[in-house]
Amino acid sequence: MKIHIKSPGRINLIGEHTDYNGGYVLPCAIDLSIDLFFEKKSIESYVETDLGYCMTFDVSTAYKKSDNHWENYVLGVVNELKKIKSELSNFSCVIKSSLPAGAGISSSSALVCGLIKGLSNLNEINLDNYKIINISRNVEHKYIGVLGGIMDQFTILNAKKNMAILLNCENLESEFIKLGFQKYKLLLLDTNVKHNLANTEYNQRVSECKESLQIINKFSKKNYSNLSEVNKIQLSLSKEKLGKTLYKRVSYVLNENKRVIDSVKFLENNKLKEFGQLMYESHFGLKNDYEVSCKELDFLVEYTINYDEILGSRMMGGGFGGCTLSLIKDSFIVEFIELIKKEYFFKFRNKLNPIIANLDQGIQMSLI
């Protein structure tokens, strides 16, 4: 018996860097995925990918960090599952992917969730989605070193086709929002920029937010459990204590949370222009206040402002590279892609990778 897991990538309409601050996000799954094919093996485990990587190991050996970054995803998942069931079976796993890595569409979480789902089923370990989210987060924090939130995993596991998930990342309450973009489509432009400090800078934002929360709690004598609980009055009272940088970070988080809620209202009432405006505001908040953008992302977003056929655009995901998300008129896509590819190459001598984001359901499992 073989198990096939189809683990999708995710986009996020709006609500960036709010998940680890207990805020709101509005993500969806897309039709690009990582496909994993598992089978039990008696002697040795092996994992191979369509990028030509291959690893062999025995599941009973103790975890030892690998110098090959991607191998730690596999070894981390095996190690975490062994804490639940000590005797795991050896296995083979063949991985094929249509999801570009490092583009900000969550190939890491798609891989980790896919591995957990496949290996837990192969070994008859019963895990609900909340447990998978926890294990996945542990793997990414402990073995990969990125202190990410839960937006990616929640989306990959729960998404429904043509719906966005309005998720409260503090209590994990969620609501599906039906999407209809009429004559518009969601276009991703992958910068092909993989900033090697991205993980460090991401973790630095996480710790800046923690520090801000401590300062606000100390001086307001409150006990907020995350930044999304802080109100604007409290923030302005703490302005001096926070200093310029932390004040900007917190302002961004509060504004972005409001933008998510406003976006839902606009999307539910087919007010795409107004939603697009919030996408731009989100981008400029990420650029100027949260400082996680880069010149390539800024160029792509600012370029779209010249066109009435594009209602909104913003950087998406962790930042420092990856891609932008734009809401663009269907009939303008081909012409625009041709234009922006040329301009991008002319300016940065780098290839731009356009992807039309078709919305799809969450993770799927089948027996073959």
Q: Using CB under 6 A, list all residues that contact ligand GLA.
A: 16-17, 19-20, 106, 148-149, 151-152, 317-318
How far apart CA 340 and CA 326 sit, in angstroms, is 13
Residue 147 CB, nearest approach to ligand GLA (Å): 9
Q: State the Rg of the chain over Cα.
A: 21
Hunting for tokens 């970070």 — which residue is that? 249
- Exposed e or buried b for every residue in 78-110, given b needs 16+ CB within 10 A? bbbbbeeeeebebbbbbbebebbebbbbbbbbb
Closest C-alpha among 336, 368, 367, 363 to residue 31: 363
Q: Which is nearer to ligand GLA, 16 or 208 (CB)?
A: 16
- Token output for 34: 């990582």
Residue 35 CB, nearest approach to ligand GLA (Å): 21
297, 191 Cβ separation under 8 angstroms:
yes
Q: Which is nearer to ligand GLA, 118 or 149 (CB)?
A: 149
Q: Which is nearer to ligand GLA, 181 or 202 (CB)?
A: 202
190 phi and psi angles, rounded to 5 deg: -85, 120
Q: Which is nearer to ligand GLA, 151 or 246 (CB)?
A: 151
Q: Reply yes or no on whether 308 is catalytic.
A: no
Cα–chain center distance at 42? 36
Give the helix, strand, coil percentages of the chain, each rounded to 5: 45, 25, 30
Q: Which is nearer to ligand GLA, 169 or 352 (CB)?
A: 169
169 phi and psi angles, rounded to 5 deg: -75, -5
How far apart CA 341 and CA 333 sit, in angstroms, is 12
Residue 109 CB, nearest approach to ligand GLA (Å): 6
Q: Which amino acid is at 157?
A: L
Question: Residue 39 contacts by C-beta under 8 Å, 6 or more apart in sequence?
Answer: 1, 2, 3, 91, 92
Residue 316 CB, nearest approach to ligand GLA (Å): 8
Question: Residue 67 contacts by C-beta under 8 Å, 6 or more apart in sequence?
Answer: none
Q: Which residue is nearest to ligand GLA (CB)?
A: 148
Strand, coil or helix: 221: coil
Q: Which residue in 152, 190, 289, 360 is the catalytic one?
A: 152
Q: Which is nearer to ligand GLA, 235 or 325 (CB)?
A: 325
Residue 241 CB, nearest approach to ligand GLA (Å): 26
Q: Which is nearer to ligand GLA, 19 or 80 (CB)?
A: 19
CB-CB neighbours of 214 under 10 Å? 11
How far apart CA 306 and CA 304 sit, in angstroms, is 5
- Token output for 252: 């961004």
Catalytic residues: 152
